[in-house]
Structure 1
């Protein structure tokens, strides 16, 4: 089986800004316990947010007392984040010039799979202060089993070749995919050098989505951002009917998975 390398698919990585306001409004944030643990394990409060998007994670770190700089390749997402008061520079992380700046933590929420895992880890090592921490994390979504199967039926009918058709929101599909991303991130950290042994953290939490809340979020997913409007409308109609059949809402479980490592002393500095 060929290796899947999402970071090579820039057209998908940079498609989320098509509706930045919806993305920010509907995408979930991250557990406060995760933010607190990352901040507590870092030597200070200067944070670089890679793939900052609209600023969902950045705002949480700022609320925890951090000074946050975002790096985001999509100018539309960066502009939205700036309107919310965040400082964001437009660039891919691999091409970004830190101009001698140093940070206590480099974080990436729902974005590190769009970064070359080895080059990204090496770039993080160069901008981290001694004892600084790289922490990359994802929210793995798992719908209740009845909803997951009903959604998969919709995708099998409308988009039979999509990943969602194989089991949208099922526990196995969600965790397997993100654990693969975690393993790739850990391998990249190891290959880049400059870090201690990567650790994996996990945080579990639950939410209930109404029909309207879920249909509002659905267009922001990577598999849907590039669909023709008529095809997206069919997906939304089908999923909406499925949620109606479940009583108008469904339960979902999120597992937030984190790969993190501390930079070793003596790592070459940036600038």
Structure 2
């Protein structure tokens, strides 16, 4: 699944949400300098936000398609699994990972980040957790259970319909923090939280779903049926809705 996102990088870049400006500002302020390594750079969503804030960014990505897409748009990207990536003596003021650290071994990844960080540099890993309102969430969960009973997508939809979407990421944050601690190379990790909202039209939400891990490997006919059902649910509430987002970041300083 980790290698499936590069199948349609145009859609991924167009549809995936950006990260709160407050997060980017806090990362830049906490870093001792402007040199950033972006792990799982993908289409450069995080990288472009950091570049706009005055940083210099090198990306690493396991997917050659994503890397090439970003290179064509002016980003500097190297292809490698992060655990196997060679810093070649280079060091950075920050190592960041937006929506990607769950594809990285939390201990080996933190150790690699420590190798690449200057003293006082920050490792910051973060996730966006989005949740539609309860009526859309419940109707969507019913669609998944009908079309894909027992699947990862059905379990994901049911969990977000019944609880906060951020709850599903709490385990990832805890695992990331434990990995940082286990290396012995970082100070005590902090968790930063940012809450925000975004309004989606029916078409915008149906553009997002195929870019998520629960959908990237679905056969086309099943994906079409899922999107039709969820589209009907959004039409039933007026054709648009406001999603609540929580962005959680786990941040630790290189000692």
- TM-score, with structure 1 as normaliser: 0.91
Structure 2, unpaired ranges of 5+? none
Q: Deviation string for 1:22-47 (max 9, x for gaps)? A: 00000001001101101100100000
Provide the rounded CA distance (Å) in 1 between the counterparts of 2:159 and 2:219.
20
Matches within 5 A, 1:129-208: 129-166=118-155, 167=158, 169-170=160-161, 172=163, 174-208=165-199
RMSD: 1.0
2:222 aligns with one of 212, 221, 231:
231
- Which residue in the other structure is 1:8 paired with? none
Q: Give the number of aligned pairs.
A: 253
After TM superposition, give the deviation of residue 100 of structure 1 in Å. Answer: 0.5
The 8 Å contact of residues 19 and 247 in structure 2, kept in 1 or not, is answered as: yes
CA distance in 1, matches of 2:162, 2:46: 24
Task: Provide the C-alpha distance between the structure 1 equivalents of 2:194 and 2:31, rounded to a whole number of angstroms.
Answer: 19
Q: Distance in 2 between matches of 1:147 and 1:237?
A: 13
SS where residue 42 of structure 2 aligns? coil
Deviation at 1:168, TM superposition (A): 5.8
Match of residue 37 from structure 1: 26
Alignment of 1:113-132 (within 5 A): 113-132=102-121
Structure 2 distance, partners of 1:38, 1:171, is 32
Partner of 2:47: 58
CA contact (8 A) 2:153 2:215 kept: no
TM-score (normalizing by structure 2): 0.97
Q: CA deviation at 1:163?
A: 3.5
Range moving further from structure 2, 74-83 or 156-165: 156-165
Distance in 2 between the 1:253 and 1:28 partners? 12
Counterpart of 1:218 in structure 2 is: 209
Helix, strand or coil at the partner of 1:191? helix
Distance in 2 (CA, whole Å) between partners of 1:34 and 1:78 is 24
- Alignment check: 8 A CA contact 1:210 1:250 kept: yes
Partner of 1:6: none
C-alpha distance in structure 1 between counterparts of 2:243 and 2:50, whole Å: 25
* 1:251 CA displacement: 1.2
